[in-house]
Structure formats: structure tokens, C-alpha cells
Amino acid sequence: MNIRGQVQSQIVTCMKSRDQKRLDAFRFLFSQIRYKEIDAKRELTDEEAVKLLQGEAKKRRESIAVYQQGGRQDLVESESYQLSVIEEFLPKQLTDEEIKAIIDEVKSGNPGGDFGTLMKSVMAKVAGRAEGGRVAAMIQPK
């Protein structure tokens, strides 16, 4: 079952169990997927859906940071919950050691490469399993 179908089935499950908080999160995810499908005029592939969910997760992380600075704990909890629901559909994130191994592999294949070419090669290999900021921090010399 594709991601869209999984989200739809979770909506039904939440409706049956009367879990309103989780239902709201899944309805929001489904609406974002539908908006993207309407723009594309076709159903999204799983890769496209994962990319969309990664963007939504990034928005949640940024919102959490802003709300924490503003002292809005109620909104932090709400965004954190939505982030946890989104992360259920994202691929497992790589550990720092796994990312470091991929970076070393790319560097050995391209020893004279600059930052941009290394980032491009590493991000192609991690393919959504690590955030670009984490990878960039590991590549840049200290």
C-alpha cells in the first residue's frame, strides 16, 4: 500500500477509535498530499510523497524552535505530536556513523572534490534518510 493509502486507512482507524488529535494530524497530511496531487494532476508516487512529508517535518521542526523561543509550550506540544505522526511515514534516519562512512566512501572516490560536488554525491546516496544540514556539518572542515 502506498503512503497515500496508508494515511487514508489511518484516518479511518482514528475515526473508529475516536482519537481526535491523531485524526487531525492525519487529515492534515492527507490534505497536503491531495493539494500536491491536484497541482500535479496525477497521484503522487511514494518518493514524491516522502519528499512532501520531509518538507512538512522540516516545517514542524522550525516551528517547534520558534515556539520554544517564544515560550509557547502548548504549540510546541502540538507541533511535536504532528512531527511524530509525520515521522511514522518517513524512512529510518541514518546514524552519524553511517553518514560518516558514506562521506568517506565518496571522498575516496573523488579526493579532490570541492564541497558542492561532495554534497551532491553524498545527498544522492543518502536519498532522504538524512537532513542536508547534518550532512553539510559533517562534510565541512572544522
Q: What pLDDT is attached to residue 141?
A: 65
Give the mean pLDDT of 29-58. Answer: 89
Domain boundaries, the chain: 3-87, 96-139
Report pTM.
Answer: 0.74
Q: Per CATH, which fold does 3-87 belong to?
A: Hypothetical Protein Yqey; Chain: A; domain1 (1.10.1510)
Alpha-carbon distance of 71 to 4, in angstroms, equals 35
- Which comes out higher in pLDDT, residue 29 or 99? 29
